[in-house]
Amino acid sequence: MAGIRLTPEEPEMPVGTPPRPQLPASVAGAGGGSGGLEMASDDERSVAADSWSVRSEYGSTLDDDQRYADAAEVLAAATASANFPSAASDYCSDKEDQDPGDVEGSMLGLQSYWDASYSEDLANFQEHGHAGEIWFGADVMDTVAVWTKSLCNIIQGGIPSGDDSIKSEVDEQLFSNYPVLDVGTGNGLLLQALAKQGFTNLTGTDYSEGAIELARNLATRDGFDSIKFLVDDILETKLDRKFKIITDKGTLDAIGLHPDGRAKRIMYWESVSNLVEPGGIVVITSCNHTKDELLQEVEDFSKRKIGKETIDEGAGPVSQIFRYIDHVRTYPTIMFGGVEGSQVCTVAFQRM
């Protein structure tokens, strides 16, 4: 949950669902004891698996056993070749040294998982015409699209940070051609929602070829042929242009679920800071981090990057890389332990 973390309940499995295969011992208990990565059961797939998944009303065309077996095989091979951190790694098992915002590693942090997932979604689209899952649900997606449009006033200098009048009207002639990048676009439905708000210069990237093929097919079917989709990994991006707006709905969450998630999140912010224009905005939607945790992560990144640039270039100090603008205030909230929070948070930052 974004505002409050609860222990996930064991989801009910349909009758006849086969048990998921267990990971090899070398992965499930790397290094022995409780310090190893555990990624096979529902609990071990993290709170994100429970919070994200708005399942479509159709059956799988891929066997769950096969998907988990494939991911387990990848994990085992990576561990054996030392591509993933060992049990002694700071990122995986040194609990005392972990960042409070860190989330335990999960299969949802692996490209092999998403390749299999989007292969399944693509097959379902081709057979039944279904679009697949909408992470965080259609209501959140639509809220993000409308709210992102309202943020264009900030790019135009019309509204100060944190002003609730962010709901005011936006001149569509000014923002419609703003270049927008959706990182980890998946099935591309957020870009379709943005197109309905009047944005016309839209690009979606994802490291999964299946996701991009699905997104292109859906955009063509739904009449959004002008949206551009590219296979690209945000952590090793090949994009050579800048964007006025960057959106992320769940991608930073997935990156944080990689066994080397802390280091990869730093790579993420480095790429995003290079892709967004000065004065442009970044809109992050997360179910694994609270607003305050995202603010702290951005502040830590700014300190790290500014310090390095000052040393490398001998330049004068820069106050910050991103500044906090605002967050969505309309998501439903719950009370737990006397603390109010929501399952999802959406936060906007402006590139300085």
The model's pLDDT over 193-238, given as tens digits with 9 standing for 90+, comes to: 999 999 999 999 999 999 999 999 999 999 999 999 999 999 999 9
By C-alpha distance, which of 172, 197, 188, 251 is closest to 225? 188
> Is a pLDDT exceeding 80 seen at residue 110?
yes
CA distance 184 to 250: 8
For 324, residues 6+ apart whose C-beta sits below 8 A from its C-beta are 161, 162, 295, 298, 347, 348, 349
Between 195 and 74, the more confident residue is: 195
Q: According to the model, what pLDDT value does residue 313 have? A: 60
Class in CATH terms, 107-154+170-311+318-351: alpha beta
pLDDT tens per residue across span 258-280: 999 999 999 999 999 999 999 99
Q: According to the model, what pLDDT value does residue 150 have? A: 93
Q: According to the model, what pLDDT value does residue 13 have? A: 42
CA dihedral 262, 185, 76, 100 (to 10 degrees): 20
Mean pLDDT to the nearest integer, 320-341: 92
For 220, residues 6+ apart whose C-beta sits below 8 A from its C-beta are none
Q: According to the model, what pLDDT value does residue 167 have? A: 54
CA distance 121 to 211: 8
pLDDT band at 119; cut points 50, 70, 90: very high
Between 142 and 67, the more confident residue is: 142
Q: What percent of the chain has pLDDT over 90?
A: 56
Please state the domain extents for the chain: 107-154+170-311+318-351
Global pTM reads: 0.72
What type of residue sits at position 211? Answer: A
What type of residue sits at position 293? Answer: E
pLDDT band at 297; cut points 50, 70, 90: very high
CA distance 352 to 349: 9
CA distance 263 to 240: 23
Mean pLDDT to the nearest integer, 104-111: 88
Between 120 and 30, the more confident residue is: 120
* 59 phi and psi angles, rounded to 5 deg: -80, 165
Strand pairing of 180-183 and 243-249? parallel
> Is a pLDDT exceeding 70 seen at residue 282?
yes
Is the separation of the CB atoms in 143 and 331 below 8 Å? Answer: yes
